[in-house]
Chain A
Amino acid sequence: MTTDQASQARGLAEDSDADLLGYMSLAADDPAGAKAAWAEFYRRHVRYLYAVCLRAYGPLLGGEAGVADLVAETFKRVYEHADKFDAVGLTDPDQLRLRTRAWLGRIAQRLAQTALRGRSRMPTKLFDHDYWQSVSQQDVPAGDSETSGRVRAAIESLDEREQIVIRTTFQWYQPDKQHQRLPNDVAADLAANLATTPENLRQIRRRAMRKIREYLIASAGAGETR
């Protein structure tokens, strides 16, 4: 590393995530600066993103190699679409870090959905304009923590097959939709993996949701009698 590069690296370490993304968005004018910014951005977030993706997608993408591909692709998309990051109203570095990581999570989630749909390890096509609009704005409100703690226990009580079905179908969960739907190709793939039929998947999901409901009713009753 040259002295200039070392100096540049030291400078970038003090820049905010929004600044780094700003440098990346100027890649056409200053490719070296954009790549240096990307390297610093990568250093800050790669361990976090790898850890959460390994937890979320390890079983669905074939383990560490599949997750590593997902993480690499996510950072590549960040480099190419850095200008889509919305940091409006934020100056606090911690808040910026949270927003940045939420954004990374949404990109990784959409890439994983595409990979699961394409039955390939990773898509090679870029997303269209509408996708980048939705990825920067999408937000799911948080649930009540006490209730979700009980739901979490209920989910952990399901058998392995039911957990896989729940885990996969909720990748496509849309809170504004009354009826949740798994893409046909994903349903076919999941059914094949579980040696069952897409219709049976619906039954497994229904049964799992019923078990969760019964668990919640039982645990609420136990709470009232204490």
Chain B
Amino acid sequence: MSRKKRNADDAEDRAIEFDARSALAELGWLPPTTEAEVVPAEARLPESPLPDSLADAEALLSRSEEQFSGSDVVTLPGSTNTELTLRRAAREGGTIPPEIEKRMRRDRQQEEGQMDDKEHGQNAP
């Protein structure tokens, strides 16, 4: 295939993709993201009732505040107290006695095991 023909095919493909994007918006398979797309979307809006979770605006905002105030606090195995203690000791150049290190590692394994159990429990059918 010549370069000229290939370029023409690529241009045609791009034109079809562009039209496909418009068609998907018209079908409602993409949300209206331009003012021009909102107009027909408003005209064809189905009269579907809101689910209970969206019915009360004030409750929704309050719930969001509660959820998000704690959403960044996630305990992962890599940031447990044991791990942090080990890191701190390493940073400060301190020596950790073997029995302490052994105990810390045992604690860490135990914590990771609990995390695994929790995760598997959540995913269980």
Contacts and interface: CB of A to CB of B under 8 A. Distances in A.
Interface residues of B, number: 44
Chain A contact patch, size range: 35 or more
The residue among A54, A124, A151 with the most chain B CB atoms within 10 A of its own CB is: A151
Interface string B4-35: 00000010111011111111101111111111
A46 B17 contact: no
Contacts of A180: 17
Contact of B27 (A51, A101, A152): A152
Nearest to B27: A152
A98 B35 contact: yes
Nearest to A153: B23
B123 interface: no
B48 interface: yes
Interface string A163-178: 0001100110101001
Interface string B39-52: 10110011010110
Most chain B Cβ neighbours within 10 Å, of A54, A79, A143 = A143
Contacts of A166: 20, 24
Given A109-B30, A109-B33, A213-B13, 5 more contacts: A50-B54, A124-B68, A143-B22, A180-B17, A209-B13
A87 interface: no
Contacts of B19: 143-144, 147-148, 151
Q: Which secondary structure characterizes the binding site on chain A? A: helix
B28 A35 contact: no
A142 B12 CA distance: 17
A188 interface: no
B20 A50 contact: no
Contacts of A98: 35, 38-39
A212 B34 contact: no
Contact of B26 (A72, A148, A171): A148
A95 B32 CA distance: 15
A143 B16 contact: no
